[in-house]
Amino acid sequence: MIAGIITNKEKDPALSYTAQVREFLIGHGVSISENFPTDADFWVVLGGDGTMLRCAHLAAMHDIPLLGINLGTLGFLTDTEKPDGLEVLQKVLSGEYETEKRMMLEAEGHLALNDVFVGAAGGLKTFDLYVNGHLLDTIRADGIIVATPTGSTAYSLSAGGPLLMPGGQMMVVTPVCPHSLSTRPLVIGAEDTVRIVAHQACPIIVDGENIGETQPHIGVFVCKSMHSATIIKTTHAHLYDVLRKKKFI
């Protein structure tokens, strides 16, 4: 068995916890690589949701499951917290786990596990929003988010969007600070295609990374990706349990 270990060095600066994980796995006959091995059976991700997001794109393209051990503050994608990490690894090696497939989006050739954002915070702009080629609305807002169910607990939630169950097949389109009382988030089907046409140039942000800038009146297309992220789960905690634990509800 081959495992990759990916560490957020800001969360484990001395790499002491990383060393514990490495020694545990080697002691159980697992070969280790720390360079995003695409032939691995799974990756152990040491960090938080941001670290999981950064790993998810490459892992999805190679169908590699991710096991997240949370060293940060929020942990919607991670399976467990640091104190229970070695116990969870033992469960995985013993086959005591399930995998969850998480829908991903594609925009401008980039994968998104959480969301695609077109806009700029604090800068009111005008957008034409199309769904399946039909003009839905012209919106004045700071920007527009298109989020997966996984991403519904991230930026979209902060902007007033609804919570979606992680395994769902749908998208939520959430305007950010719209200049209208009637503009509301919209839940659409996974097979729908969104086109966002910005009247002014603005950044395109995919899972928190700036991938470029829109051209005026040229649309950004967002659709479901053929790839999906595979998340390892050793517990049966429901999203509501996680939300309560993180004091979101």
| Positions marked catalytic | 49
Query: Residue 214 has what DSSP assignment?
Result: P
Q: String of b and e for 60-96 (b: at least 16 CB within 10 Å)?
A: beeebbbbbbbbbeebbbbbbebeebbebbebbbeee
Which phi and psi angles does 74 have, rounded to 5°? Answer: -95, 150
CA distance 168 to 57: 19
CB 19 within 8 A of CB 43: no
For 242, list phi and psi in degrees, rounded to 5: -65, -45
Joined tokens for residue 184? 């509301």
Outline where DSSP puts E strands in 8-142. Answer: 31-33, 42-47, 66-70, 80-81, 98-107, 110-112, 115-119, 125-131, 134-141
Distances (CA, A) of 217 to 66, 135, 146: 39, 13, 18
What the block records as the tokens of 161 is: 């969007």
